[in-house]
Amino acid sequence: MPNEKKQCEHYAKLCAVLEKNENYQKFKVYAEHILALSNNSLEKTIAIAVALCLVCAVLVSLAAVALKPLQINNKELDMKQNILDVAGLLEEGKDIDAAFAEKIEAKIVDLETGDYVESINAADYDQRKAAKDPAQSIAIPKDKDIAHIRIKAKYAKVFLVKEAGAIKSIILPINGYGLWSTLYGFLSVDADGQTVQSINFYDQAETPGLGGEVVNPNWRALWKGKKIYAETDQPSMEKGLITEADIGEPALSLIKGVVDNSKPGSQYQVDGLAGATLTSTGVTNLIRYWTSKEGFAPYLSKVRTVKGAKS
């Protein structure tokens, strides 16, 4: 076979080069010396142990390098799957890349102004990485850091869900500290910038069965139709975890117990997580932070009145 012949030729050339190498010759001499020693020799034991460690290190390094593209691709695929999930577009058996390309458009938003930033390629932008870069992030004043994240990226990547060319919903990246971990997720809101469609946390380490219930589909379903901003001045909610909210301010909150939908203000309430008050408070705080002027309020104020507008 031609390929086998070429491989043999390359191997022969490699051997010829090694035979001329002074260090390789020294290695051969030392290897022969080690092999000639008794199996009870301390020098032989140490040399073989070191050789095995080196071989294993090389193999692990080669595997890491070889698998890195696959890992990156799987990470991107998982993120697209979570975005499609929170958008209500995830279909079993359907190609994720194709569904994402067909329905979702990524945009970069300047959090200070609420304007789109066309100079940054949304496909390449990593908001979590940017938040760790002093040149691309800003420190959050302590009195405003209710989500306890300390720093945030100057720009955020949002995702527009489209239908027949019109914006159907907007997916916002959110994060904040719970009880044990920083929760990272997405909040899907209607194109009016006011009505919640869904929520999804793709990265969290809260207590399983308690705070970890943030990923429970039944609990996530409770968010649909809830309102973000107070349409009238809202007093402190009964059993609520937030203070009062003035008209136009973020009012959405988890409460202690179950929401009574017959009571005024229930449109701003979601059932708290049973036995997980601190995680519930953390979710409330991160929602209120990212829908405030510190987060996406400037952006949402510009899209709230143009539901279904062409992008």
Please report the pLDDT score of residue 155 as a whole number.
97
pLDDT band at 173 (very low <50, low <70, confident <90, very high): very high
Please report the pLDDT score of residue 187 as a whole number.
98
CB 188 within 8 A of CB 160: no
CB 151 within 8 A of CB 168: no
pLDDT above 50 (res 239): no
The span from the first CA to the last CA of the chain, in angstroms, equals 58
Residue-averaged pLDDT of the chain: 87
Please report the pLDDT score of residue 169 as a whole number.
94
- At 68-121, the pLDDT tens digits run 776 777 888 899 999 999 999 988 888 999 999 999 999 999 999 999 999 999
Residue 275 falls in which region: left (phi positive, over 0), alpha (psi -120 to 50) or beta = left
Cα dihedral 124, 128, 129, 133 in deg (nearest 10): 120
Nearest-angstrom CA–CA distance, 123 and 61: 28
Please report the pLDDT score of residue 243 as a whole number.
54
The 3-state DSSP class for residue 205 equals coil
pLDDT band at 7 (very low <50, low <70, confident <90, very high): low
- At 42-65, the pLDDT tens digits run 887 888 888 888 888 888 887 777
Q: Which residue has the higher pLDDT, 163 or 237?
A: 163
Per 3-state DSSP, the chain is made up of helix, strand and coil in percentages (nearest 5) of 40, 20, 35
Q: Which residue has the higher pLDDT, 245 or 201?
A: 201
